[in-house]
Amino acid sequence: MDYTLEKEYAITYYEQNVNGNLKESSLFNFLQDIATISAEKLGFGPSYVFSHNYAWVVLKYHIELYQELKNPEKLVIKTESRGTTKLYAFRDFEIYSPENVLLARVASAWALIDMESRKVLPMQSALSFVKSFEKREEDLEYGKIEPLSRIDFQKEFEVRFDDIDVNKHANNCNYIIWALEALDSGFRLKYSPRVIDIKYKKELRLGDVVISCVQVLEDDGIVTLHTIKSKHSDEEITSLKIRWEDCI
């Protein structure tokens, strides 16, 4: 079975930010889109999971951008389903220019949950037909995300109706929006992300209020640490670490 898939994406103006770079949220949407198409092709996409009252949730991403995705007219994204362990499924992505220049690589981990109990399902019982994960020498490594020791910026958001997807929780692309929106606009104009680690810990639902907090580190290049937490419970929902470089 071929576990790979390739798709070309035409980039619209509203998918770029004021610097002309592809919005991070647009990139996350593209990753989710091709992952969904690939999963459907392999037999564990929407047709399968919805019929069993299951849902896929992404647990973490490690994204390495080798250059700014600046003023792109088209991008080619390739994905490979890497198989499963006891509880998790793994998927890789590569992003290319139309001229076949490698622009970025992404590693991701996913879980399958029961929509009624909201519990993680063992892969052996839910997806016994999927191959087992085997590590490779060239695999990307997930970065450690340290806790914040101070808060340099913070901003509050309410989860809106349009933030919720068919799984009845906030879609994963919203978290990167909340994380970056807390930064000062001058910072965003000056820098663009090169490495993004994001770890999703809890679900958010309609009407939840979150606080996005940021710490800026400048000891080893420009790095930001982010935590998105529930205003009601003070529980951490998502954590991120982003390494930045000067915009071109």
Residue 217 pLDDT exceeds 80:
yes
3-state secondary structure of 89: strand
CA nearest to 229, candidates 205, 207, 206, 213: 213
Give phi and psi for 115, each to the nearest 5.
-65, -30
Ranges 60-64, 124-128, 156-160: which has the least confidence: 124-128
CA nearest to 45, candidates 54, 36, 34, 53: 36
What are the tens digits of pLDDT across the range 176-188?
A: 999 999 999 999 9
Residue 117 pLDDT exceeds 80:
yes
- Helix, strand counts (H, E) of the chain: 5, 10
Residue 124 pLDDT exceeds 90:
no
Residue written as tokens 């509203």? 14
pLDDT of residue 116: 87
Residue 220 pLDDT exceeds 80:
no
3-state secondary structure of 215: strand
| Amino acid identity, position 1 | M
- For the residues 131-159, what does the mean pLDDT come to? 96
CA distance 89 to 133: 8
Give phi and psi for 196, each to the nearest 5.
-125, 125
CA distance 104 to 66: 6
pLDDT band (50, 70, 90) for residue 248: confident
Residue 169 pLDDT exceeds 90:
no
